[in-house]
Amino acid sequence: MAVKTLTINGDQYSAQEGESILAVCRQHHIPIPTLCHLEGLSTVGACRLCVVQIEGNPRLLPACTTKVEEGMIIQTSTPKLEKYRRMIVALLASEGNHVCAVCVANNHCELQDLAYQVGLVRVRYPYLYPDKKLDATHREYVMDHNRCVLCTRCVRVCDEVEGAHVWDVAGRGINCEIVSGLGGNWGDTQTCTECGKCVMVCPTGALFEKGVTVSEMEKKKGFLKYIITARQKKEWISQSE
Amino acid sequence: MTVDDLQELSEKELQRQSGKKHRILYCSAAGCVSCGSEKVSDALKAKIKEHALEKECDVVGTGCLGLCGEGPLVKVKNDRTLYQNVDVRTAEQIVESHILNGVPLKDHQTDLAAPFFTSQTKIVLENCGEIDSERIDEYIGARGYEALAKAVNEMQPAQVIEEIRKSGLRGRGGAGYSTGLKWGIVSKAHGEQKYVVCNADEGDPGAFMDRSVLEGDPHRVLEGMAIAGYAVGATQGYVYCRAEYPLAIERLKLAIKQAEKMGLLGNRILESQFNFRVDIRIGAGAFVCGEETALLQSIEGKRGNPKPRPPYPSEKGLWGMPTLINNVETFANIAPIIRNGSDWFAGIGTEKSKGTKVFALAGNIRNTGLIEVPMGIPLRSIIFDIGGGTPEGTEFKAAQTGGPSGGCIPSDQLELPVDYESLAKVGSIMGSGGMIVMDSTSKMVEVAKFFMQFCMDESCGKCIPCRVGTRHIYGLLDKISKKKGTQDDMVLLEELCMMVKETSLCGLGQSAPNPVLSTLRFFRHEYEELLQPVETYQDGSAPVADFTNG
């Protein structure tokens, strides 16, 4: 495969053809915040946190879905990009009912981490306080829509890795919601295998195991790389992250 | 069917038509149907029967006759007389006085020498209001399928693409990408199967161009698609039509059936080696499915969510195969270009925008209706000559083009030539052809709020800037319109607009802030008049918005 050379933040890097900008940045420890992206799942370019500036392109492009090209000159962190990222996280914070202090995922939450990472100290938009439901009908797990950020990781892991496709998105725009089955209770679905993959890939406290309380829900995502490597390369790696 | 058969059929149809003394056309497009044109046609037919005039008189339901605001419309073709606001009684009078005694009615007549009719140039709409859209013979009589025969029999696919490229035709769906270039890319892309898709998911509020073309001349679109299929090497076409257009879908279905029966679609078209099938896919009411990647997802039976581009549909479209997507109006332009040559087409319009554009004229204007004008025509001509200006006692304020993705053009830009580049320069877009006219009674903050509510409701919810950003922009506009906004809200509004525009995933989000940005650009004072007075701090300085935080 052909090798491409590109410039990121003024430094030169080489990358393989077909690699995404995000993959190259991750390899070289160039920080780019992400939310919907998760190694091992398909990329959807939905959260827009990883947008970068590419010279000669008037549009901001997401690093996760944009493939490297020879001679690309990329800026991953400019005042504008940083401001937009802060705005996106602020929008997320205003959209749901996120109360860290009483959340099972407090201290283990990617949304919380993101807020620190982008330097969000104040939300200027009015909180929407939507009327969201909680679904505790499943034997082992709970879905709390109040904390959902609609990253669709659960949808993708269930469809692509587990092959059950319990989850999907219903509704439009601000009224979008993750649904199980055809929109009924999670506990009533015939397709759920109770594998818990969705719970583990969920970035926030929206999906959690029953029995945990504040700050106790730690998400272990190592299984994903373990399964994918085993399937693709027939190698059995350690499950720790 | 061979080319000779086609020729014969055309002559036969023209003979049949010229054998009749009168050809009475009534508008059977959605607008006139909704104000009672079916009753009018029943009355016409009954009276014709009563006076035993069937042999010398044709009563034909046609596509849109243009002047939608004055419907139902009836035209007596041979005498070049158009009647407006026709009710059952008038229809009976038309037969008894005009047809039977040769005395045209004095009332209800429309002046066909008015600029509304004379300032238009018709290419896409040349058959609209002239032929019976439900009879393929009439389309063939109007030189229909001649271009397809020419392409398939006399031209190589590359020649067809070259002809379209040279014509300078640009996509009529809004963005204005060169149609010839797009066809070239799809023809060169590798794939065992290629597809041609017609985007008939016209969703802009106030737009009804594509609907009128599909209802009035569906074969023209099918012919354009078949020529495109031949040019790019596709054997399957889909028309993606929104479910809100039941009449268009019905006529399309009929048209496909007729064309297949005659060997003008399907296998071995016109006895050549070229096969092309067309199927209809019906949308489920989502505006975002007009965005090409979402549209393809919807055809595949999935949730209509947009996907990041690249890959573009021309490389990886339907089921991963190269797919050509054009809008209804673009396809409707193809047959005349092939028939009359690219030079003819390139002779109309401006240097960079060739041909004509169909507009749906709506809003505060005297002549609401469907018009087709050459590219580059000054906005003033559209509004004042064709449209007849705003209602009495009001003044023209602005025109909105491009619907919720476009912007407004204020009255000091009336001399602006209407083409892709000029509209972009003033912050609007050509869009698919909706033109909403606003007069001095319109409030621009309300206009922006209306379009933002539309975008907020129609956002698919996939990406955060569009899903949540449009909601907050709407909230801010609502607050300002209720006189509760502050200067800080204005700062927030503009920041949000820029962010949503620059970071959203698809065209819907990227263009959703346009109506706000453009009304802010030209009518900022209307926003500021609604703001609460700036409270000053004790030291006299005004409160400053916090720029550093999200």
Tokens of A5: 């050379």
Q: Tell me the pTM.
A: 0.93
- Is the same domain home to B390 and B452? no
- Is the same domain home to B432 and B468? no
Please give the backbone phi and psi of residue B89, each rounded to the nearest 5 degrees, phi first.
Answer: -60, -45
A134 or B548, higher pLDDT: A134
- Is the same domain home to B219 and B329? yes
Residue A238 located in a structural domain? no
- Is the same domain home to B383 and B423? yes
Q: List residues of chain A with CB under 8 Å from any CB of chain B.
A: 44-48, 51, 59-60, 62, 65-67, 83-84, 86-92, 94-95, 118, 120-126, 128, 150, 168-169, 171-176
Q: Which residues of A touch B505 (CB under 8 A)?
A: 45-46, 48
**CATH code of the domain in which B99 resides:** 3.40.30.10
Q: What is the pLDDT of residues B435-455, one digit of tens each?
A: 999 999 999 999 999 999 999
- Is the same domain home to A60 and A100? no
ipTM of this complex:
0.96
B535, pLDDT greater than 90: no
Residue B351: what pLDDT?
A: 94
- Is the same domain home to B472 and B425? no
Among candidates B460, B464, B550 on the partner chain, residue whose Cβ is nearest the Cβ of A123: B550
Chain A nearest-CA residue for B547: A83
* A175 with B459: Cβ contact below 8 A: no
Among candidates A89, A126, A173 on the partner chain, residue whose Cβ is nearest the Cβ of B550: A89
Residue B185: what pLDDT?
A: 97
Where in the sequence is the domain holding B190, given as residue range(s)?
A: 143-346
- Is the same domain home to A49 and A97? no
- Is the same domain home to A150 and A226? yes
Strand partners, A213: none
B546, pLDDT greater than 70: no
- A contact test, residue of B297, B472, B476, B479 with most A CBs within 10 A: B472
- Residue B363 near residue B436 (C-beta atoms within 8 A): yes
Among candidates A48, A59, A172 on the partner chain, residue whose Cβ is nearest the Cβ of B463: A48
Residue B11 located in a structural domain? yes
- Residue B263 near residue B221 (C-beta atoms within 8 A): no
Tens digit of pLDDT per residue, chain A (241 long)? Answer: 689 999 999 999 999 999 999 999 999 999 999 999 999 999 999 999 999 999 999 999 999 999 999 999 999 999 999 999 999 999 999 999 999 999 999 999 999 999 999 999 999 999 999 999 999 999 999 999 999 999 999 999 999 999 999 999 999 999 999 999 999 999 999 999 999 999 999 999 999 999 999 999 999 999 999 999 999 999 998 876 5
Where in the sequence is the domain holding A91, given as residue range(s)?
A: 83-233
Residue B351 located in a structural domain? no
Residue B75 located in a structural domain? yes
The whole-angstrom distance between B539's CA and the closest CA on chain A is: 25
* B469 with A91: Cβ contact below 8 A: yes
- B contact test, residue of A47, A92, A125, A176 with most B CBs within 10 A: A125
- Is the same domain home to B90 and B221? no
Percentage of chain B beyond pLDDT 70 is 97
B532, pLDDT greater than 90: no
Q: How far is CA B310 from the centre of its chain?
A: 27
Residue B547: what pLDDT?
A: 47
The count of C-alpha atoms lying within 13 angstroms of the C-alpha of B334, restricted to the half-sphere facing its C-beta, is 35
- A contact test, residue of B315, B484, B499, B548 with most A CBs within 10 A: B499
Q: What is the pLDDT of residues B276-287, one digit of tens each?
A: 999 999 999 999
B314, pLDDT greater than 60: yes
Of residues B24, B49, B57, B9, the one with CA closest to residue B132: B24
- Is the same domain home to B338 and B362? no
Residue A187 located in a structural domain? yes
Choose one of B61, B95, B113: the last residue of a domain: B113
Burial of A133 (0-12, 13-18, 19+ CB in 10 A): exposed
- Is the same domain home to B518 and B461? yes
Q: Which residues of A touch B307 (CB under 8 A)?
A: 44-45
Worst-scoring range by mean pLDDT, B71-85, B180-194, B318-332?
A: B71-85
Choose one of A77, A96, A116: the last residue of a domain: A77
Residue B77: what pLDDT?
A: 86
> Average pLDDT for residues B174-202, to the nearest whole number?
95
Residues in chain B: 550
What is the average pLDDT value for chain B, to the nearest integer? 93
- Is the same domain home to A107 and A225? yes
- Residue B148 near residue B226 (C-beta atoms within 8 A): yes
* B467 with A176: Cβ contact below 8 A: yes
Residue B131 located in a structural domain? no
Residue A240 located in a structural domain? no
B residues 256-315 closer than 8 Å to A (CB)? 286, 303, 305, 307-308, 310
- A contact test, residue of B453, B468, B498, B547 with most A CBs within 10 A: B468
**Three-point CA angle B143, B149, B150, nearest 5°:** 95
* A173 with B469: Cβ contact below 8 A: no
CA B523 – CA B518 distance, rounded (Å): 8
> Average pLDDT for residues B1-27, to the nearest whole number?
93
Q: Which residues of B touch A66 (CB under 8 A)?
A: 308
- Is the same domain home to A56 and A101? no
The contacts of residue B400 (CB under 8 Å, 6+ apart) are B363, B406, B407, B408, B409, B428, B434, B435, B436, B437, B438, B447, B515
- Number of inter-chain CB pairs under 8 A, A vs B: 110
Residue B541: what pLDDT?
A: 53
- Is the same domain home to B171 and B257? yes
- Is the same domain home to A128 and A71? no
What is the domain count for chain A? Answer: 2
Q: Which residues of A touch B484 (CB under 8 A)?
A: none
Residue B412 located in a structural domain? yes
**How much is the CA Rg of chain B, to the nearest whole Å?**
25
Contact status of B512 with chain A (Cβ, < 8 Å)? no
Choose one of B391, B416, B442: the last residue of a domain: B442
**How much is the CA Rg of chain A, to the nearest whole Å?**
19
Q: What is the pLDDT of residues B104-144, one digit of tens each?
A: 998 899 999 999 999 999 999 999 999 999 999 999 999 99
Contact status of B480 with chain A (Cβ, < 8 Å)? no
Among candidates A88, A94, A171 on the partner chain, residue whose Cβ is nearest the Cβ of B465: A88
DSSP state of B542: P
Residue B533: what pLDDT?
A: 80
Query: In Å, how far are B140, B148, B152, B267, B276 from B272, measured between CA atoms?
Result: 19, 11, 7, 9, 11
Residue B1: what pLDDT?
A: 85
- Is the same domain home to A66 and A171? no
- Is the same domain home to B418 and B453? no
Q: What is the pLDDT of residues B349-399, one digit of tens each?
A: 999 999 999 999 999 999 999 999 999 999 999 999 999 999 999 999 999
Choose one of B396, B416, B442: the last residue of a domain: B442
Choose one of A53, A77, A101: the last residue of a domain: A77
Before A79, cis peptide (omega within 30)? no
Of residues B500, B514, B507, B447, the one with CA closest to residue B477: B447
CA B464 – CA B449 distance, rounded (Å): 20
